[in-house]
A and B are shown apart, each in its own frame.
Chain A
Amino acid sequence: MKRFSALFLHLAALIFTIIGLSLMYLNYNYGRGIHLFSHSSYEDSTLFQEQLEKDIAKIFDYVNYKDVFETDGQLDYGKKMVGVSYTYGAERQSITYTLDELIRYGKSCGYYLNSDYEVVKSESTKTAKNSDNFLVDWRVYMPSDDFSEPGDAYSTLEDLSLEILNRLGSYLSTYNNLIAAPSNLVFQVCYNRSDEEQSLYTNAPDMTPEEICSMGKYCYLEGTSLSPDTNISVLPTNISAIAESSNPYDNNNYYVAIGLNTDYPYSDVYSEGYYSFRDMRLMYAAGILFLAVGLLGMGVSLFHLFRTEQRQPLTYFDTITTENSILLFVAGIALSLFLSYRVFSKFLHLVIRVAYWDYTDKLVAAVCIYLLFLLEAGSLIRRYHAKTLWSNSLFKNFKKFVSLYFHEKALTVTVGVTYFCFLGANLVLLGAAFLTFYQMQGAISLFLPAGLLIILITIDLWGFHYLFHNAWEQTKITEAIRTLSLGDTSYQIDTSLFSGKEKELAENLNNITTGLEKALQEQVKSERLKADLITNVSHDIKTPLTSIINYVDLIKREQIQDPRIQSYLEVLDQKSQRLKTLTEDLVEASKASSGNLKLEISDINFTELIQQTNGEFEEKFTIRHLEMITQIPEKRIIIAADGRRLWRILENLYNNAFKYAMEGSRVYVDLAVHEDMAVFTIKNVSANPLNIDASELTERFVRGDVARTTEGSGLGLSIAKSLTLLQNGSFDIFIDGDLFKAQVAFPIKPKDKPASSEA
């Protein structure tokens, strides 16, 4: 659970990081540097400075070009722009071009103004209709042209029209942006020739310079002062220079006033800049916040994730070798890159703007790689913790194999030398055969190579035979060992075709087999001897025991009145009877445990047997007031067993219950079918505490009552267990407090014929 919550947190943090990165990266101001963020307002930002600098330049462009292009305050296309002269034969001719003519010529060359008033050249049009150089006599827009070199005075008509178009563009740009449209930026540039005559350039003719200076941001420069009066933090430094250079008169009687209405009542570049600066700052701040939270969250959750990962069990992926897992990881990266660029990104492109394609593609790939990295890192951590990082690496195995070569130097040398001799002989013979075939002359060039080839083939065949023989010998030995491991100790390898080391190996294996066989036979023999010994001893005990029992009985018949003698006789009678059951059970136990019994296996109806046994014991149980509660299925349950021996098992268990159950308690007898097993269970509550291990109860001579006051040989359960195991059944005893439970299970005969009166 902890692991999943850590994983979930980590993924959430990853998403935060991605959002943060996206907010920052997708910001249109991306790349301008973080210091933008430190400016408190748009008017202090470099964005504003750039815009202002551009506009100041435009304002002075307008100042410069207004008179060039305008007549009485209107744009005049008929104005003469350029005067050129050229030499036609010996004659020198002069031509003036009007604005309209130059524009049309420029258009015919493929130049035009786009929506931003920049000169653009359309690709399809051919250039240089007329590449003749003219001598430019004058240009209206350059009143004080000094050509530093003679070449500068020459120009083509195309270049001239381009010059005009550029300047017209600047003029139009200022005119349309600052003058024709309402603007937040107001300016007044005023040059005074004298007190009466002045040239005023402005987009706010109604305002006084003082009004401008009372605006949110302003800049006021007088011709007499050196530095401008301004509240703009960073002013384009060259404003004085530009103002001076644009002064058409030779005096210092002028002023420049520029003001910005920081309430931004009009929609223009400044209001746009102001709002987007605000949004951008917001986005940047959010981005940084997201990024910080995400990165922190990722770090913390990654730490926890890796910590919990240590306690995880190894998955299938963790069991493949370390190198292979890394290879798989690399392959996974390659695949995910392929998929993210070729498949996922295609889906994303359906919903995402073209401008962001590059970013999202990279993002998807990075996320894929990162997730794979998480998987691999988790696996590596689990490996490290389970200590399989090294032990399950290819390199370790490789090292192990290589170290074999160094460990068994003698073998390495022998096998290596043999192999290289074989290889060398092959190469030399083959080489020699070719050489002789091509170099020698006559019959020898046929016979010698043929002979060499025959030797070569012989060597190779011998090599093949050697390998085959080795493989055959190994197969034989493996087969023999498998047979031996399955318990057949009589198997012997025919070593007549074996040779070398394998012959030795096979002979030794044969010796081991023979030894095992002998040991096994000895063991069987000794088991039988033991059983025989017990049988014989018990026979020898039985004869005197007969006399004891008989004479005790005879004394009892004498009707001796003395109560002491009667009690002695009672003891004698009891003990002699116990000795009798003991000798009988001893023989049976030794035979059952040594398997020295002939079983008569037939089809036995287990339910019938239990009913029969119940019938035998029902009355006996009433002696000790034991209530028998039986639960057996109605249908026949056929098992393959020896009926009399199975009866003996049940008899011992019932007798056990009879002897050791608490008087007046209940004895539960169940027969149930579990899958293909018939399971018989008998349960009773012990009269004495069962402070003994369940497995010990089936040991010989162990009884539930340690004091051994009750009758019984202590062999009953042992015999029952041995007999059950002999008949391929299972015998289990469970002790739970004073509850004793014995369970005997036999496999049900698969071909359970439907109820027939089979006898």
Chain B
Amino acid sequence: MQNILVCDDDKQIVEAIDIYLTGEGYHVIKAYDGYEALEILDSTPVDLMIIDVMMPGLDGIRTTLKVRETSSIPIIILSAKSEDNDKILGLNIGADDYIAKPFNPLELVARVKSHIRRYTQLGNLSQQQADEQVYKCGGLTINDDNKEVQVDGETIKLTPIEYNILLLLVKNAGKVFSIDEIYEQIWNEEAIGADNTVAVHIRHIREKIEINPREPRYLKVVWGVGYKIEKQ
């Protein structure tokens, strides 16, 4: 059983998260400000921390910075601030994920699961890579030998075209592919334009590999340019 530290000055929110996570079989430790959270971290082993930003006393940002001095546990920031700047700030100071309030409880649970799986399975995955055709990008793993795609250890079923598109993007992680380029590479045909096929496939892939397809972690949309897999 994993320990999850939930820290928010709003007791009802902590309570609700507690109910959801306990229901998934996690042990939830509650804290109501940054100092409390730091104290608990010192005393108890914690596998994941969910923390609010705006709190009296020590706020979420400073708490995260403090935690990162000693620990590498997954940290999910939960904040009412939903602007890009806030998200970028949170992720830059060491948080692993950023969820804006009001959140979808299911999404929160999914993300928690994903982070914990990655955190715990990180070690043994790296050992397999020696002799197999394996491409990795964060929690996304593609084994080209058995055509298997895993996200945070969970196997995902993709159609052959979806698989090929994802493989192309993962192999060239960080590079942006336009719709026409993807079309030419996968179908081996001259792109004729004005066709939604590629975009629809991409959307399907996102729906399968992303927790929240609107805010993808892996397969990102560069609007007006193309698609890419974020290099991690």
A432 at the interface (CB under 8 A from B): no
Query: With contacts defined as CB atoms under 8 Å apart, how many contacts are there between chain A and chain B in the complex?
Result: 120
B200 touches A759 (CB 8 A): no
Q: Mark B17-44, 1 if CB is under 8 A from A, else 0.
A: 1011000000000000000000000000
Q: Mark A619-637, 1 if CB is under 8 A from B, else 0.
A: 1000000000011111100
A546 touches B103 (CB 8 A): yes
Q: Which of chain A's residues has its CB closest to B207's CB?
A: A619
Q: Could you list 18 examples of A-B contacts with CB < 8 Å?
A: A535-B83, A539-B81, A542-B101, A545-B101, A549-B102, A550-B13, A550-B105, A554-B19, A576-B102, A584-B82, A587-B82, A609-B223, A615-B201, A616-B199, A618-B200, A634-B193, A641-B224, A647-B224
A547 at the interface (CB under 8 A from B): yes
Q: Mark B95-108, 1 if CB is under 8 A from A, else 0.
A: 00000011101000
A757 at the interface (CB under 8 A from B): yes
Distance between B157 CB and nearest chain A CB, rounded to angstroms? 18
A647 touches B199 (CB 8 A): no
B1 at the interface (CB under 8 A from A): no
Chain B neighbourhood of A614, CB < 8 A: 196, 199
Cα A606 to Cα B201 in complex, Å, equals 20
Q: Mark A545-568, 1 if CB is under 8 A from B, else 0.
A: 111111101100000000000000
Q: Which of chain B's residues has its CB closest to A539's CB?
A: B80
A663 at the interface (CB under 8 A from B): no
Distance between A584 CB and nearest chain B CB, rounded to angstroms? 6
B222 at the interface (CB under 8 A from A): yes
Q: Mark B70-94, 1 if CB is under 8 A from A, else 0.
A: 0000000000111100000000000
B200 touches A644 (CB 8 A): no
A546 touches B200 (CB 8 A): no
Chain B neighbourhood of A630, CB < 8 A: 194, 196
Cα A611 to Cα B198 in complex, Å, equals 9
Distance between A575 CB and nearest chain B CB, rounded to angstroms? 13
A580 at the interface (CB under 8 A from B): yes
Cα A604 to Cα B222 in complex, Å, equals 10
Q: Which of chain B's residues has its CB closest to A549's CB?
A: B102
Listed stretches B57-65, B115-123, B171-179; interface member: B171-179
Distance between A744 CB and nearest chain B CB, rounded to angstroms? 13
Q: Which of chain A's residues has its CB closest to B19's CB?
A: A554
Chain A neighbourhood of B82, CB < 8 A: 542, 584, 587
B161 at the interface (CB under 8 A from A): no
Cα A449 to Cα B141 in complex, Å, equals 108
A-B residue pairs, 8 tightest by C-beta: A615-B199, A604-B224, A643-B223, A634-B193, A609-B224, A550-B16, A542-B80, A647-B223
Chain A neighbourhood of B203, CB < 8 A: 615-616, 619
Partner of A643, one of B12, B19, B181, B224: B224
A208 at the interface (CB under 8 A from B): no
Cα A576 to Cα B101 in complex, Å, equals 12
Chain B neighbourhood of A587, CB < 8 A: 82-83
Cα A641 to Cα B222 in complex, Å, equals 13
By size class, the interface of chain B is 35 or more
Partner of A611, one of B80, B175, B194: B194
A608 at the interface (CB under 8 A from B): yes
Cα A400 to Cα B111 in complex, Å, equals 83
A546 touches B176 (CB 8 A): no
The answer to whether A546 and B101 touch (CB under 8 A), given A539-B81, A615-B200, is: yes
Chain B neighbourhood of A757, CB < 8 A: 178, 181
The answer to whether A615 and B222 touch (CB under 8 A), given A546-B101, A546-B103, A608-B179, is: no
A546 touches B196 (CB 8 A): no
Cα A641 to Cα B223 in complex, Å, equals 10
A759 touches B176 (CB 8 A): yes
Chain A neighbourhood of B225, CB < 8 A: 602, 604-605, 608, 643, 759
B167 at the interface (CB under 8 A from A): no
Q: In the complex, which of the residues A535, A548, A759 has the most CB atoms of chain B within 10 Å of its own CB atom?
A: A759
Identify which of residues 595-616 in chain A touch chain B, using a CB-to-CB cut-off of 8 Å.
602, 604-609, 611-616
Chain A neighbourhood of B13, CB < 8 A: 543, 546-547, 550
B194 touches A546 (CB 8 A): no
Residues of B within 8 A of A (CB): 10, 12-13, 16-17, 19-20, 54, 80-83, 101-103, 105, 175-176, 178-179, 181, 192-196, 198-203, 221-226
Distance between A720 CB and nearest chain B CB, rounded to angstroms? 14
A646 at the interface (CB under 8 A from B): yes
The answer to whether A542 and B224 touch (CB under 8 A), given A587-B83, A616-B199, is: no
Chain B neighbourhood of A544, CB < 8 A: 10
Partner of A634, one of B178, B194, B196: B194
Distance between A129 CB and nearest chain B CB, rounded to angstroms? 122
Q: Which of chain A's residues has its CB closest to B202's CB?
A: A615
Cα A576 to Cα B105 in complex, Å, equals 14
Distance between A107 CB and nearest chain B CB, rounded to angstroms? 117
The answer to whether A543 and B224 touch (CB under 8 A), given A608-B178, A611-B195, is: no
Q: In the complex, which of the residues B80, B102, B181 has the most CB atoms of chain A within 10 Å of its own CB atom?
A: B102
Q: Which of chain A's residues has its CB closest to B192's CB?
A: A634
B193 touches A546 (CB 8 A): no
Chain B neighbourhood of A550, CB < 8 A: 12-13, 16-17, 20, 102, 105
Distance between B110 CB and nearest chain A CB, rounded to angstroms? 14
Q: In the complex, which of the residues A535, A554, A576 has the most CB atoms of chain B within 10 Å of its own CB atom?
A: A554
Chain B neighbourhood of A604, CB < 8 A: 223-225
Identify which of residues 507-556 in chain A touch chain B, using a CB-to-CB cut-off of 8 Å.
535, 538-540, 542-551, 553-554
Known: A634-B192, A643-B224. 5 other contacts (CB 8 A): A545-B102, A607-B193, A608-B178, A615-B202, A630-B194
Cα A606 to Cα B223 in complex, Å, equals 9
Cα A580 to Cα B222 in complex, Å, equals 26
Cα A320 to Cα B69 in complex, Å, equals 86
Cα A554 to Cα B23 in complex, Å, equals 11
Q: Which of chain B's residues has its CB closest to A548's CB?
A: B102
Cα A155 to Cα B157 in complex, Å, equals 157
Chain A neighbourhood of B81, CB < 8 A: 539
Chain B neighbourhood of A543, CB < 8 A: 10, 13, 80, 101
Distance between B99 CB and nearest chain A CB, rounded to angstroms? 10
Chain A neighbourhood of B17, CB < 8 A: 550
Cα A550 to Cα B16 in complex, Å, equals 6
Distance between A54 CB and nearest chain B CB, rounded to angstroms? 109
Cα A661 to Cα B101 in complex, Å, equals 31
Q: In the complex, which of the residues B105, B181, B196 has the most CB atoms of chain A within 10 Å of its own CB atom?
A: B196
Chain B neighbourhood of A615, CB < 8 A: 196, 198-203
A547 touches B178 (CB 8 A): no
B224 touches A608 (CB 8 A): yes
